[in-house]
């Protein structure tokens, strides 16, 4: 299906290459799944990405949980993502002043040189987005920031006036591709979509086909409910990588999210 048909207003309102790449990949693989590839060893991570890659729309990493990380090995991760045209998203949750964030985007992991997307808190002020953009410019690349407007975990403080301010700023900044919303609470997500409008993405962790409480305060909502409430990407970790058959699980999440998008778009 053509991406503009299934994405409707979102496609028209979001013309940046990075957003269009995401929407095109999603339409090609019939999936809104962003895999949270939370594996601690390079070989496990690579095996996982290579096996479920065709059912994904994006790939999310936490580079600092990988115990045997090497620059060479990471190039293979980037290559595996490129093979199926996935944006590579480092969920770093930057929170420092702009200048330090710019340095952290380089550092030993060289995040700016391989990540297309990163997450950031806005707690330190708006310059954090400029810090990310400056780092990408330093290495001749561009990327997008997803600002945390909500979180999925129990007792988090991202609500009320703070969350409103994150959205108000992010809507005005070209470097902000969108926001992280809480996939475990469709009503919060619907409210967030109302504040965000059509011109930015909302990506949602806290999603699992088994709705309920997860480990250590994580909470889960159903992928269909998240997408119908306004999510553009469901971030799924253990639902796929801890499944007995990760490929079958990835397909199930892809189907649930894709059919919900079709339903939302009325096509
Ligand atoms: P899970 O195994 O599906 O629970 O993994 C969720 C992933 O999403 C994991 O990598 C978290 O770091 C990430 N996450 C989250 O769970 N909740 C949030 O609010 C944000 C990120 Br932001």
What is the pLDDT of the chain when averaged over all its residues?
97
* Domain interval for residue 53: 3-265
| Cβ of residue 243 lying under 6 Å from some atom of ligand 1 | no
What are the tens digits of pLDDT across the range 169-226? 999 999 999 999 999 999 999 999 999 999 999 999 999 999 999 999 999 999 999 9
Please, how many CA atoms are within 13 Å of residue 169, restricted to the half-sphere of its CB?
A: 21
What's the gap in Å between 207 CA and the centre of ligand 1?
A: 9
Is the shortest distance between the CB of 38 and ligand 1 below 6 Å? yes
Q: Quote the number of domains for the chain.
A: 1
The confidence score (pLDDT) of residue 1 equals: 83
Mutate which of 33, 36, 118, 156 for ligand 1 pocket (most atoms within 8 A of beta carbon): 36
Is residue 61 in contact with ligand 1, taking CB distance under 6 Å?
no
Catalytic residue positions, numbered: 93
For residue 62, how far is its CA from the centre of ligand 1 (angstroms)? 10
Q: How far apart, in Å, are the Cα atoms of 130 and each of 102, 135, 144, 145, 222?
A: 8, 9, 11, 10, 34
Please report the atom of ligand 1 found closest to the CA of residue 62: 10
Q: What is the pTM of this model?
A: 0.98
CATH code of the domain covering residue 67: 3.20.20.70
189 Cα–ligand 1 center, Å: 16
Among 56, 173, 179, 175, which Cα is nearest to 112's?
175
């Amino acid at each position: 299906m053509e991406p503009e048909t299934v994405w409707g207003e979102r496609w028209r309102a979001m013309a940046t290459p990075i957003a269009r790449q995401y929407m095109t990949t999603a339409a090609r693989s019939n999936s809104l799944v962003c895999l949270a590839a939370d594996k601690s060893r390079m070989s496990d991570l690579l095996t996982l990405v290579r096996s479920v890659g065709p059912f994904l729309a994006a790939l999310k990493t936490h580079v600092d949980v990988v115990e045997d990380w090497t620059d060479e090995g990471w190039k293979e991760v980037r290559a595996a993502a490129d093979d199926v045209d996935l944006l590579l998203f480092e969920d770093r949750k930057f929170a420092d002043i702009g200048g330090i964030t710019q340095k952290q985007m380089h550092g030993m992991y060289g995040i700016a040189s391989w990540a297309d997307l990163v997450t950031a808190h806005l707690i330190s002020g708006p310059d954090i987005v400029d810090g990310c953009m400056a780092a990408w410019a330093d290495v001749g690349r561009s990327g997008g920031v997803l600002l945390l407007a909500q979180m999925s975990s129990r007792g988090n403080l991202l609500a009320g006036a703070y969350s409103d301010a994150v959205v108000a700023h992010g809507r005005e900044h070209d470097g902000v591709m969108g926001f992280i919303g809480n996939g475990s609470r469709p009503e919060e997500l619907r409210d967030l979509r109302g504040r965000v409008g059509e011109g930015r993405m909302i990506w949602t962790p806290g999603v699992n086909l088994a709705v309920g409480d997860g480990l250590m305060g994580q909470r889960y909502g159903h992928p269909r409910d998240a997408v119908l409430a306004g999510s553009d990407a469901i971030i799924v970790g253990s639902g796929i990588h801890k499944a007995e058959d990760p490929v079958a699980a990835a397909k199930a999440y892809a189907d649930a999210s894709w059919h919900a998008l079709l339903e939302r778009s009325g096509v």
